[in-house]
Structure 1
Amino acid sequence: MLSTGLPQGAVPRLERPGPLRERVYEALLELITTRALQPGQHLVESELAGHLGVSRQPVREALQRLNTEGWVDLRPAQGAFVHEPTEEEADQLLTVRTLLEAEAARLAAAAADSDGVVRLEELCAQGEEAVAADDVDTAVALNARFHATVMELAGNTVLADLAAQVDRRVRWYYTPVARQRGQQPWIEHRALIAAIAEGDESRATRLMREHTEHTRRSHHDRPAS
């Protein structure tokens, strides 16, 4: 175990071809959003470079970009640290998420076809299996895919672009409460699928709003780490 807190072998080395700077950025962002790198954790350039199999330069550039975007805090004479989100930041982000997702659910109910409903059902079944197996990482990823699919079925590219801007932060906030929420999100997903399949825009909107509010409240009520 290195001081960065990453298990040996957890991070694959990056292949050299392609835009290395971008791939290092994406790799570090994924480690942050999945909480493999915890809020407040010190990020040592040399150790991260060793994990990723790159030089320190692209790591330094990625950390600077992540600092600009609010994922990392660069502290003078101390180094880089994963940002620790405040309750206000989480509340604002998850409130905006509720607005976007509720509208997506309404549009999906108005536009979704049987193929779209089947895709949602398949993701829901996979998510239920992941929770039953206590595979939190997979459950979180499938939850994100489920919501992205609802957004896709809504058919509004502007709405989808806005949702994409908050998606990773939603995942960041959701990960700590995923085990606590257990199967309940997937029960709520099942009810939402039924509303979308029936073309009930009003019910789909209400269910999605309630569903996302549950996540927001769970984040605020989570046990102290």
Structure 2
Amino acid sequence: MSSTGLPQGTAPNLERPGPLRDRVYEALLELITTRALRPGRHLVESELAGRLGVSRQPVREALQRLNTEGWVDLRPAQGAFVHEPTEGEADQLLTVRTLLEVEGARLAATRADEAGIRALEGILAQGLRAVAGDDVDAAVALNARFHAKIIELAGNAVLAELAAQVGRKVRWYYTPIARRRGHRSWAEHRDLITAIAGHDEESATRLMREHTELTRHSYHARNES
């Protein structure tokens, strides 16, 4: 079993405004989605509270919320553990992600303006630098930002809300394959920008479907030699 508590040096900043239980929830969720707290890790309330500088009560409330949302498993007489996703769970989530992002890319190709394209190009440049520097954490964060920007450019509030609901778990699944996808993923991003900038709905749709499906297949193949 993995050791308990937070890894050294990973305690996040809780100075943002809002109820303490919500700030603790956000801090723990960030640690889980970035895999600083890896699947299967035992989460001990007292140790988490000590590292975050809070009492055990907001930690307990945060763990209960995370359990409800499927990020944490609360096991009787054992405690809390970071959820270990099954292949089936991952496949279902990444399949839904494809459906949402394909439509997002299609709409973005009809609505994106020059400012939006420049924003995508800026994220692309940062992503390429992160990959070149083997900065996996930055590459994962920038990948999420790139896809979120396309959804924003789509201009559909309901689509954006649904995409945001799955976005964090997509990041969770993407982290262990980010290095494997590497330059190829960002080359695919460049092609997507070209299609969106050219208002080419058909190409944007096809490229996004291929891009997200490659990520799904890479996740399932992550443990192959």
Give the TM-score range, shorter chain.
Answer: over 0.9
Superposition deviation, residue 208 in structure 1: 0.3
Equivalent positions of 1:1-225 (< 5 A) are 3-4=3-4, 6-15=6-15, 18-223=18-223
The CA distance in 1 between the partners of 2:182 and 2:12, in whole Å, is: 29
The CA distance in 2 between the partners of 1:107 and 1:28, in whole Å, is: 34
Amino acid at match of 1:174: Y
CA contact (8 A) 2:105 2:151 kept: yes
The CA distance in 2 between the partners of 1:76 and 1:224, in whole Å, is: 34
Q: What is the identity percentage for the equivalent residue pairs of Structure 1 and Structure 2?
A: 78
Q: Secondary structure at the match of 1:183?
A: helix
The CA RMSD measured in Å over matched residues stands at 1.6
The CA distance in 2 between the partners of 1:32 and 1:224, in whole Å, is: 24
Q: Secondary structure at the match of 1:106?
A: helix
Superposition deviation, residue 145 in structure 1: 0.3
Amino acid at match of 1:33: T
Superposition deviation, residue 223 in structure 1: 1.6
CA contact (8 A) 2:5 2:48 kept: no
TM-score (ref. length: structure 2): 0.96
After the TM superposition, list the runs of 4 or more consecutive aligned residues in structure 1 that deviate by more than 6 angstroms.
none
Residues 188 and 5 of structure 1, relative CA distance in 2, 3 Å threshold: farther
The CA distance in 2 between the partners of 1:55 and 1:180, in whole Å, is: 40
The CA distance in 2 between the partners of 1:125 and 1:187, in whole Å, is: 11
The CA distance in 1 between the partners of 2:104 and 2:135, in whole Å, is: 28
Stretches of structure 1 lacking an aligned partner (at least 5 in a row): none
The CA distance in 1 between the partners of 2:135 and 2:4, in whole Å, is: 23
User: Number of matched residues?
Assistant: 224
CA contact (8 A) 2:106 2:205 kept: yes
Q: Secondary structure at the match of 1:177?
A: helix
The CA distance in 2 between the partners of 1:161 and 1:17, in whole Å, is: 23
TM-score (ref. length: structure 1): 0.96
The CA distance in 1 between the partners of 2:105 and 2:45, in whole Å, is: 42
CA contact (8 A) 1:4 1:37 kept: no
Superposition deviation, residue 210 in structure 1: 0.3
Q: Secondary structure at the match of 2:23?
A: helix
The CA distance in 1 between the partners of 2:161 and 2:154, in whole Å, is: 12
Q: Secondary structure at the match of 1:74?
A: strand
Superposition deviation, residue 14 in structure 1: 2.2
The CA distance in 2 between the partners of 1:13 and 1:129, in whole Å, is: 26
The CA distance in 1 between the partners of 2:55 and 2:210, in whole Å, is: 46
Superposition deviation, residue 224 in structure 1: 6.5
Q: Secondary structure at the match of 1:30?
A: helix
Superposition deviation, residue 152 in structure 1: 0.3
The CA distance in 2 between the partners of 1:88 and 1:8, in whole Å, is: 32
